[in-house]
Amino acid sequence: MVRFELVSKVYPGGQKAVDDLNLEARKGEFVCLIGPSGCGKTTTMKMINRLHEPTSGRIYVNGRDIMQMNPVTLRRQIGYVIQQIGLMPHMTIAENVALVPRLLGWDRARQEKRVNELLPLVGLDPATYRDRYPSELSGGQQQRVGIARAMAAMPELILMDEPFSALDPITRETLQDEMKRLQHKYKLTVVFVTHDMDEALKLGDTIVVMRSGKIVQAASPDELLRNPKDDFVAQFVGRDRTRDVSLLKVADVMIRPVTIGPEHGLAEALVLMKKRRVSSLMVVDEDDRLLGFVTPRMIEKVRRGRVADVMRPDIITASPETPLQEAFERMFLAHLDYLPAVDEEGRLVGLITSTTMVDALSQALWSDEGESE
C-alpha cells in the first residue's frame, strides 16, 4: 500500500530529517511510527501525502510513484487526522465531514447520505450533531468528527498524526479502541505517528521505532517487547516493561494450592472446594508429597468414599525453576487450567493457574509504567 525506497529528506540548512529510509505498510496494516521528538516520524508520515516532499528516493502509494501524481488528487485519496483536530470552525459538523466528498464533487444527496452513515460509525447521533458547530463539542467528540472526516471519501489509507495525544486518558482509550475497530472493519491501512509506546503497542500491527531519521527497529509489538534490538529500543519500550517477562519462573508467580489428604471423605472435599472457591484440590500425603488431584466431576460419579478412591494420580507438574513460558506451553498443550509445582522430592510447593499466569504477565508488562517514564 505504501512503500518507501531509500527516502531522504534534507531541510534547507542541511539538517537531515529522514535518512535513507526503507519502509513498507501492507494493505490493511496498522503501522505506528514512534520515536523521540525530532526523530523524523512526522516528516516521514507527511511525505506520504506530500505535505513534505522527499529530497531523494521514491515513495509509492498503491504502486504509484507519488511524485508523478498531482498532490491535490493524491491527498483526496488519503484520509488525514491531525493532533489539533483542525475542524473548520465556520462549518457545521455535517459540512466538516462532507468536506472531501464536496471537493471531489459528489452531489448533495450523496454527501448527506455519507454523513449520516459516518457519524454513527464514530459514535455520534446524526440528528443531534450534524447541524452543530465544532465549538459546541468536547475535544473527544471533535476528534470523532475528525476521524469521520478522514473516512468520508472511503480512502484505503489513513494518516494520523498523534491524533489522541491532546485528549484525556479515558477519552483517548475509548477512541483508540474505536479506531482499531474501524481499521479492522474496513481493512484500512493506517500510518499512525505517536510518541506514546502504550498507544503503539495497543494499536500497531507493526511498530517502527525511529531515531535521527533512521529506523532502529520495525517489528510486531510482541517482537519488540521480547527482543528489543538495542538499548535505545529497550529504553523506549520501557526497560521495566520487558524486565522479567522472559526471565520469570514458576516460583515467581505460583500461589499456595488448596490441598487435602487422601484419607478424607468426599463430602469434606466438596465443602472445602466450595469454601475456598476452587475447582480442584491437590491431594498430598502427610509429607506434602503430591499424590494426585480431585475435581467435583470425579466426586459426582462416586458420591461415597474417600478422596483416595477417586483422585487421579496422572498429573503433569513443573518445577519451581521451570521458566514461566515453558510452563505455560505445557498447560496449553495439555489443555490444563492449572499446573502444580513440585520440588525434587515430589513435594508440592505451589500452583500456577491460567489466571495467575495472565496476572503475572500483564503485571510485568504494564505495572511499572510510572517508574519507567
Give residues in contact with other proteins (CB under 8 A): 49, 51, 72-77, 80, 82, 84-90, 99-100, 103, 133-135, 149, 159
In sequence order, what are the residues at sequence separation of 6 or more whose Cβ sits closer than 8 angstroms to the Cβ of residue 20?
6, 7, 8, 57, 214
Considering the complex, state which of residue 47 and residue 281 has its C-beta at the smaller distance from other proteins.
Answer: 47
Q: Which three cell numbers stand for residue 232?
A: 535505545
Q: How far is CA 285 from CA 88, 262, 313, 343, in A?
A: 75, 7, 12, 15
For helices 108-121 and 139-151, the axis angle rounded to 10 degrees is 130
- Distance separating alpha carbons of residues 269 and 261, to the nearest angstrom: 9
Please provide the DSSP assignment of 12-43 as one string: TTS-EEEEEEEEEE-TT-EEEEE-STTSSHHH
Considering the complex, state which of residue 57 and residue 86 has its C-beta at the smaller distance from other proteins.
Answer: 86
Q: State the minimum distance, in angstroms, from the CB of residue 90 to other proteins.
A: 4
Q: State the minimum distance, in angstroms, from the CB of residue 161 to other proteins.
A: 9
For helices 169-185 and 139-151, the axis angle rounded to 10 degrees is 20
Q: Count, in order, helices (H) and strands (E) of the chain.
A: 19, 15
Q: State the minimum distance, in angstroms, from the CB of residue 133 to other proteins.
A: 6
Considering the complex, state which of residue 161 and residue 244 has its C-beta at the smaller distance from other proteins.
Answer: 161
End-to-end CA distance of the chain: 34
Q: State the minimum distance, in angstroms, from the CB of residue 89 to other proteins.
A: 5
Give just the sign of the alpha carbon dihedral 57, 62, 64, 68: negative
Considering the complex, state which of residue 88 and residue 267 has its C-beta at the smaller distance from other proteins.
Answer: 88
Of the candidates 296, 280, 269, the residue with the CA atom closest to the CA atom of residue 339: 280
Considering the complex, state which of residue 77 and residue 354 has its C-beta at the smaller distance from other proteins.
Answer: 77
Considering the complex, state which of residue 67 and residue 251 has its C-beta at the smaller distance from other proteins.
Answer: 67
Considering the complex, state which of residue 138 and residue 279 has its C-beta at the smaller distance from other proteins.
Answer: 138
Q: State the minimum distance, in angstroms, from the CB of residue 231 to other proteins.
A: 35
Could you tell me which residues are beta bridge partners of residue 294? 281
Considering the complex, state which of residue 110 and residue 274 has its C-beta at the smaller distance from other proteins.
Answer: 110
R_g of the chain, CA atoms, integer Å: 28
Helix (H) or strand (E) holding 345: none
